[in-house]
Amino acid sequence: MKHAFAILAFVGASTMLHAQRSTFSSKTEQVRVDALVLENGRPVGGLTRADFDVFDQGVAQRVELQSLDELPVDVTLALDMSDSLNGARLERLRAAGRAVLAGLKPDDQAALVTFSHVVHLGSKLTTRLDVVRNALGVSGDNGNTSLIDGTYSGIMIGGAGGGRSLLIVFSDGVDTASWLTPDAVLDVARRSDITVYALSPRGDKRSSFLRDLTTSTAGRLYEVDPSSDVQRIFVSILDEFRRRYLLSFSPENVVPGGWHRLEVRVKGHPRATIVARSGYSADN
């Protein structure tokens, strides 16, 4: 059963946003950095802790590298169910969601948020993937598109677990109904540990929100058209996320508080591209 999300007025949503900001600030005792290392567009595997250098405000840090299998994955789907998506296109989107669920392991969790002119919680994070799978089959409410509100809800839900957080956002149109502002949600995303991948229609007139969001969280934006294989893209997102390296460190010799600029380098791979967050908030 889907439950209406409490984004009913700008004042109420803004108050909730302000209250949640500290929750998503990175703790200065331990900073986690999800890093994707690419060569010729493909993930580089087999790296160890000795292969990485991480700089906090330009100061080298002592880095730990957690095993890729050490922490479960928390996957949240935030899916557009507005008027523009129906029939075969809606079924292809549902099939893509089911394919992601099929790729999860027993300790992984999944959640579902859908949005049109309102935002609904299909399922909170759970290891009971049948619950999420059933929620995917519930019809949408149609109406306009609350992309920004739906994305914010996905960040809130996805950040509630203890695993590595992945948010997959699919939208078939420009936002026409959100209460929240792009800048406010981008600020929350930058302070979170969640990595956002997104799919949006190909074209020059689309909002820059999803591009800014995926860049800020070290994810990736896919521009798609009606004939794109959305299921293949969803599955590739999960596969790529599992190939990322989870680095962590306790900040040393840096001024506490405020925004900290991060830089990740990889030794022995001069042509590698490293996709990682540009910084973190050290505010309590």
Distance CA 39, CA 150 (A): 33
Q: Are residues 237 and 248 in the same domain?
A: no
Average pLDDT for 56-80: 90
User: In this predicted structure, which of 1-5, 124-128, 170-174, 233-237 has the lowest mean pLDDT?
Assistant: 1-5
Q: How confident is the model at residue 140 (pLDDT cuts 50, 70, 90)?
A: low
In a domain, 6, yes or no: no
Q: How confident is the model at residue 5 (pLDDT cuts 50, 70, 90)?
A: very low
The token pair at 18 is 């302000």
Q: Are residues 176 and 220 in the same domain?
A: yes
Distance CA 253, CA 172 (A): 46
Per residue in 185-221, pLDDT tens?
Answer: 999 999 898 999 999 988 745 568 999 999 999 999 9
Domain count, the chain: 2
The residue type found at 179 is W
Q: Are residues 108 and 157 in the same domain?
A: yes
Q: Give the residue from 11, 29, 18, 21 showing the smallest Cα distance to 250.
A: 29
Domain that holds residue 258: 25-68+244-281
User: In this predicted structure, which of 45-59, 75-89, 252-266 has the lowest mean pLDDT?
Assistant: 75-89
Orientation angle between helical segments 209-216 and 182-191, nearest 10 degrees: 10
180 CB burial (10 A radius; 0-12, 13-18, 19+)? buried
Average pLDDT for 105-127: 94
We report the CATH number of the domain holding residue 173 as: 3.40.50.410
pTM: 0.88
Distance CA 90, CA 113 (A): 15
Average pLDDT for 30-56: 93
Largest CA distance in the chain: 57
Distance CA 133, CA 126 (A): 11
Q: What is the pLDDT of residue 157?
A: 95
CA–CA distances in Å: residue 249 to residues 32, 60, 69, 189: 7, 10, 19, 20
Q: Are residues 120 and 236 in the same domain?
A: yes
